[in-house]
Amino acid sequence: MPLETYQYMSNVWKDGIFDNKVVFCTGGAGTICSAQVRAMVHLGANACIIGRNVEKTENMAKDIATARKGAKVLGLGAVDVRKPEALAAAAEKCAKELGGIDFVIAGAAGNFLAPMDQISPNALKSVMDIDVLGSYNTVKATLPYLVESAAKHKTDGKTPPPNGTGGRIIFVSATLHYVGTPLQSHVSIAKAGVDAMAVSVAIEQGPKGITSNVIAPGPIADTEGVARLSRSDSRENSAKAIPSGRFGTVKEIADATIYLFSDTGNYVNGEVLVVDGGQWHTSAIGNKAFEYPDFLLSGETVTGVTGGKKSKL
């Protein structure tokens, strides 16, 4: 069933700005990434979303396709971003069936709440492999297509690009590592690496016409991230500590994506766009659900959140 447009993008964008373009997205069945892709599809793009869960990924692809009549959205499940050969095959299939790859969203990620002394080396490695290695493998698999797209869609900032934009990548990161976040050492390490990677891509591939940027979402309502990283009984108080006074929406991440991928983002390269209502500036106020430092000193395991640390990691 089609969503109302304002649920996944603002009404300020011009229809058709991504006509005949293709977006490739890892983690595309997730709540944030699916909104990013849905907005792109609404504005003319076709898409290929990647995920490990076959049924979830295929169903989400069908749902995203309702954003525009005639849209083509591939849902490729059973693809692990930690395996470069699987991503290379997915990128090849995407380009073959949809005609190329113009935009990439590296959005696959893993997370849970736990203090460092409860995180095994294997658990840390799992997060690093998904976030950092997965993002790296995404770049390697799609870079040839992005270089080709960038060459076709050069922009000078003076005249409208005749064939629209292309050759752009967005890494979905976080703000956790800006000031340090308790219970998030593993993801903070990983996201810092993702941010550094985005800058390296911008420096090395920018001369070829590619732009590489980061979107760092804050707490976004009704997402897996909020469910995993906060207790339901503490979310109202957490929202009060955000300067904007509320959690964000997936629409606001999608709008940031359109900005960076469209003509408006031509001269933005190697940057981090934080979309968090100012939350990271007040993060030192603390999380009342896991009082600092009492919770850490207690030795307790995090409870009351969706998912959690998997002991076998």
Which of 104-118, 131-145, 198-212, 259-273 has the least mean pLDDT? 104-118
Give dist(CA 22, CA 30) in Å, integer: 19
Helix (H) / strand (E) containing 17: none
Rounded distance between C-alpha atoms, residue 255 and residue 260, angstroms: 9
Candidate from 36-50, 68-82, 228-242 with smallest mean pLDDT: 228-242
Look at residue 282 in the predicted model and tell me its pLDDT: 85
The conformation of residue 295, written as its DSSP 8-state character, comes to: H
Is the pLDDT at 266 greater than 70? The verdict is yes
Average pLDDT over residues 155-159: 89
Judge whether 191 counts as a catalytic residue: yes
Q: Is residue 276 assigned to a domain?
A: yes
Measure the CA–CA gap between 19 and 231, rounded to whole angstroms. Answer: 41
User: From the candidates 191, 230, 238, 309, which is the catalytic residue?
Assistant: 191
For position 311, what pLDDT does the model report?
A: 33
Q: Is the model's pLDDT at 191 over the cut of 50? A: yes
Q: How many domains does the structure of the chain reveal?
A: 1
Active site residue 173: yes
Distance of CA 163 to CAs 64, 127, 150, 254, Å?
A: 24, 38, 11, 22
CA 283 to chain centre: 21
- In this structure, is residue 158 part of a structural domain? yes
Domain limits for position 189:
15-298
Section 124-147 average pLDDT: 97
Question: Is the pLDDT reported for residue 179 higher than 60?
Answer: yes
Whether the predicted pLDDT of 112 surpasses 90: no
Residue 101 lies in a domain: yes
Residue 306 lies in a domain: no
Identity (one letter) of the amino acid at 227? A
pLDDT at residue 161 greater than cutoff 70 = yes
- Mean model confidence pLDDT for the chain: 90
Q: Which residue has the higher pLDDT, 50 or 234?
A: 50
Question: The domain that contains 278 carries what CATH number?
Answer: 3.40.50.720
Considering the chain, what percentage of its residues have pLDDT values greater than 70? 88
Structure tokens at 116: 């460092």
Q: What pLDDT shows up at residue 309?
A: 47
Q: What is the mean pLDDT of residues 302-311?
A: 54
Q: Catalytic residue among 34, 173, 238, 283, which?
A: 173
Determine the Cα–Cα distance for residues 53 and 269; give it in Å rounded to an integer: 33
Given a contact cutoff of 8 angstroms between Cβ atoms, the answer to whether 34 and 56 are in contact is no
- Asked if pLDDT for residue 56 goes beyond 60, the answer is yes
Q: Using CB atoms within 10 A of its CB, is residue 228 exposed (0-12), middle (13-18) or buried (19+)?
A: middle
Per-residue pLDDT at 225: 56
Tell me which of 89-93, 156-160, 183-187, 287-291 is least confident.
Answer: 287-291
Report yes or no on 305 lying in a domain. no
pTM over 0.75: yes
